[in-house]
Structure 1
Amino acid sequence: MRVRTTLVGATALLVSAALAAPAVAAGTGTGAHSATRKAIEAAVASGVPGVTATAKDSHGTWSTTAGVGDLRTGAPRSVADRYRVGSITKTFVSTVLLQLEAEGRISLDDSVEKWLPGVVRGHGHDGSRITVRRLLNHTSGIFNYTEDADFARDYFTEAGFERHRYDTVTPGELVAIAMRHAPDFAPGAAWHYSNTNYVLAGMVIEKVTGHPYATEIERRILRPLHLTGTSLPGTKVTLPRPSSNSYSKFTDPNGSTYDVTNLNPSLASAAGEMISTSADLDRFYRALLGGKLLPPERLKEMKTTVEATGIPHARYGLGLMDTRLTCGVHVWGHGGGIHGSVSEAVTTADGRHSLAFNFNGDWSGDSDAVLDGEFC
């Protein structure tokens, strides 16, 4: 199974004993998605509480759900569910920076030090040697704050999460955690997924524009594309309706299941705070790959990839991943994970065939099989 580049990379997505699989809700659209539906049913059979998915292609829009959105009441998931999308946020952040570059307001080859003087410094980190581009393609070498042992204990264990789930953490505090560690490598020498890169990218957007990154994403992407189910919650701990509950087993796949729906997403910041719907994610990636958000030369820049070390069959661009499926088809998009929520959103290179889906449990389920079912 391909490794997912998610916010919760500090903890493995572990397989648990299967839960009973409720019936799949009837999908809408054509009958061409039977393999996708079968893979979604298998995810629920493997232990995922519920799944919601929407695909769009030349035949129209197809949506389906499986399993439950609430383990206590048995209420089903909805095709209109809002859910936390984790690291899918990164594509939105990168898109804004590429728009700013197209406007001549920043160069991705500017140093981080130019825009954030003194922020990336300590234990061998040097922002003057790191470009904004290296933040976006994860070749900066900056330590990933979610891999810090204290952070992992506070947010990725049951006891720590219960103590800290409603805490507000500033971007500066997240970066400071990373600066307590040595870099993973010299800038440009290798590739390693680091959420710190995108916390910094969000800070750069604010420095360039004078507005928070959330404001720029809303103004430049959400409103023009009418992504009414997508939001940047900041410190708001609840999910907007309609939505399902989110569940985690933390580090014990055979342990108890915990409701982790409500949390303060500032722990993810520009690396993964967003909430969206499957239909909105389809619309976003179709618009992006279809050339509606970036000029051709900037989209080409975004799709210029490097090897994503440790992730088979994948290469990483600027907040955008190129994944080769088992049948040889390439899809472009991003995965995202945050407590109790695992999502994927991809489209073909021409933006004409897209799929977005969400598991509301973070310990089981084969998302790769769902992608293969849809595109292979």
Structure 2
Amino acid sequence: MIKICNVIQIWRLSYMISKHSRPGAVHQPVCENVKRRLPMYRYSRTFNRCIQLMIGLCFLLPSVSGFAQSDVSDARIKAILTQRIDTDKQSVGMVIGMIDASGRRLISHGATDRTSGIPVDGKTIYEIGSITKVFTSMVLADMIERGEVGLDDPIRMYLPQGVSAPTWDGKEITLRHLANHTSALPRLPDNVEWPDLINPYAEYSSDLLYDFLKQHELRRNLGEIYEYSNLGAGLLGTLLSRKADRSYEQLVLSRITDPLGMPDTRITLSAEQKQRLATGHGLMLEAVENWDFLALAGAGAIRSNANDLMTFLSAHMGLTDSNLSATMAHMQQAWQETGGPGMEIGLGWHARSGHGTKIVWHNGGTHGYRSFIGM
């Protein structure tokens, strides 16, 4: 489990996410979106606690807004981690990173698995699940800045010849619709039977994706109603890859992680990086398999660690200079309401406003991992 943040007042977000961790909610992490076809998945108090813990662990401190990260000691945060891991048995290992103008802090507790005893730290690699969508939208923003695509380009411009996209009353799905979850596409394609949570995306190919688009009929207008869609984000990654004539991973590496100096943020790990990959664990702390992605990689395929994500957040907060500043600024424009109280969606990022604060964030979850990044 990994969380990166910059202000303690984000604790308020934990309640909101916990409240909406149910069918029809404002936002669900990647693994929630397979619930309808995966019988082993159930909404439960245990899972809701896991979501609340994921967002709020390092923020569930005194309920006073305006706490800067320096106002809460490492010892206090360490005590929370110790309680959650050693006493409550809600995780095997957690890493928390915090960053502001004064520098970085990293607090961790637990191990990479239940047997080795190898402690987790800032270099420990995790699946970051739906935080991948922020990277997908950042690739989109970068391609817009370079004049390679337009935000309101219809997706048919980037589909293979002979592949059509569904329309509504003459309106076409655009890249914007995919990035802000207003495409009217479902959370998952329905042209396969999703097997279970073990590795649900591993066999979903581009051929299956295109077959789905050709036969799917939209049920509402475009650009109006927010519905979180792994399908839409995965399709966006595939289309951008086609336009750039590079794999999704190559796009992320060349456009984002290499320029920002994030060597451990990628999909395909080296032998050395695999040694630092934490084992994923289920709700009963059983070891579970990693997830693999094909056509829907843009929805949740990336792995990363706390050190890299603090670098990522530092650039987005303007704490470090970057040639991608214009790209990152583009991602926080054109906010659109999601239907939840104070909730908006930009390009990839969600935002929660209230109590005089706007928190920009995303969370992630695969079978064995939970993650959060916010600023």
Q: Secondary structure at the match of 2:352?
A: strand
- Does the 8 Å CA contact 2:165/2:213 hold for their aligned counterparts? no
Residue 242 in structure 1 maps to residue 276 in structure 2: yes
- Does the 8 Å CA contact 2:331/2:349 hold for their aligned counterparts? no
1:299 to 309, 318, 329: 329
Q: 1 CA distance for matches of 2:359 and 2:276?
A: 29
1:188 deviation in Å?
A: 1.4
Q: How many percent identity over aligned positions?
A: 23
Gaps of 5+ in 2: 1-14, 21-26, 36-41, 51-68
Q: Residues 217 and 110 from structure 1, CA distance in 2 versus in 1: closer, same or farther, beyond 3 angstroms?
A: same
Q: How many residue pairs align between the two structures?
A: 320
**What does residue range 182-331 of structure 1 map to in structure 2 within 5 Å?**
182-183=217-218, 185-233=220-268, 240-249=274-283, 257-266=285-294, 268-290=296-318, 292-294=322-324, 296=326, 299-300=329-330, 302-310=332-340, 312-324=341-353, 328-331=356-359
Q: 2 CA distance for matches of 1:140 and 1:237?
A: 39
- Which residue in the other structure is 1:374 paired with? none
Q: Residues 165 and 196 from structure 1, CA distance in 2 versus in 1: closer, same or farther, beyond 3 angstroms?
A: closer
Q: Secondary structure at the match of 1:240?
A: helix
Q: Residues 62 and 301 from structure 1, CA distance in 2 versus in 1: closer, same or farther, beyond 3 angstroms?
A: closer
**What does residue range 335-346 of structure 1 map to in structure 2 within 5 Å?**
335-346=363-374
Q: Residues 166 and 213 from structure 1, CA distance in 2 versus in 1: closer, same or farther, beyond 3 angstroms?
A: closer
Q: 1 CA distance for matches of 2:148 and 2:81?
A: 44
- Which residue in the other structure is 1:113 paired with? 156
Q: 1 CA distance for matches of 2:93 and 2:311?
A: 23
- Which deviates the most, 236-245 or 52-61? 236-245
Amino acid at match of 2:259: P
- Does the 8 Å CA contact 2:179/2:348 hold for their aligned counterparts? yes
- Does the 8 Å CA contact 1:145/1:174 hold for their aligned counterparts? no
Q: Secondary structure at the match of 2:314?
A: helix
Q: TM-score normalized by structure 2?
A: 0.73
1:94 deviation in Å?
A: 1.1
1:195 deviation in Å?
A: 0.9
Q: Residues 322 and 170 from structure 1, CA distance in 2 versus in 1: closer, same or farther, beyond 3 angstroms?
A: same
Residue 332 in structure 1 maps to residue 360 in structure 2: yes
- Which residue in the other structure is 2:173 paired with? 130
Q: TM-score normalized by structure 1?
A: 0.73
Q: Secondary structure at the match of 2:274?
A: coil
Q: 2 CA distance for matches of 1:233 and 1:14?
A: 33
**What does residue range 56-205 of structure 1 map to in structure 2 within 5 Å?**
56-116=99-159, 118-119=162-163, 121=165, 129-145=172-188, 148=190, 151-152=193-194, 154-156=195-197, 161=198, 167-174=202-209, 176=211, 182-183=217-218, 185-205=220-240
Q: 2 CA distance for matches of 1:170 and 1:105?
A: 25
Q: 2 CA distance for matches of 1:203 and 1:194?
A: 14
Residue 32 in structure 1 maps to residue 61 in structure 2: no
Amino acid at match of 1:323: R
- Does the 8 Å CA contact 1:143/1:184 hold for their aligned counterparts? no
Q: Residues 30 and 277 from structure 1, CA distance in 2 versus in 1: closer, same or farther, beyond 3 angstroms?
A: same
Q: 2 CA distance for matches of 1:275 and 1:65?
A: 18
Gaps of 5+ in 1: 20-28, 250-255, 348-376
Q: Residues 79 and 31 from structure 1, CA distance in 2 versus in 1: closer, same or farther, beyond 3 angstroms?
A: farther
Q: Residues 345 and 115 from structure 1, CA distance in 2 versus in 1: closer, same or farther, beyond 3 angstroms?
A: same
- Does the 8 Å CA contact 1:121/1:127 hold for their aligned counterparts? no
1:37 deviation in Å?
A: 4.2
1:298 deviation in Å?
A: 6.9
Q: Deviations over 1:104-144 (max 9, x none)?
A: 1211111011111554546x679961111111011110112
Superposition RMSD in Å: 3.5
1:238 deviation in Å?
A: 11
- Does the 8 Å CA contact 1:238/1:263 hold for their aligned counterparts? no
1:240 deviation in Å?
A: 2.0
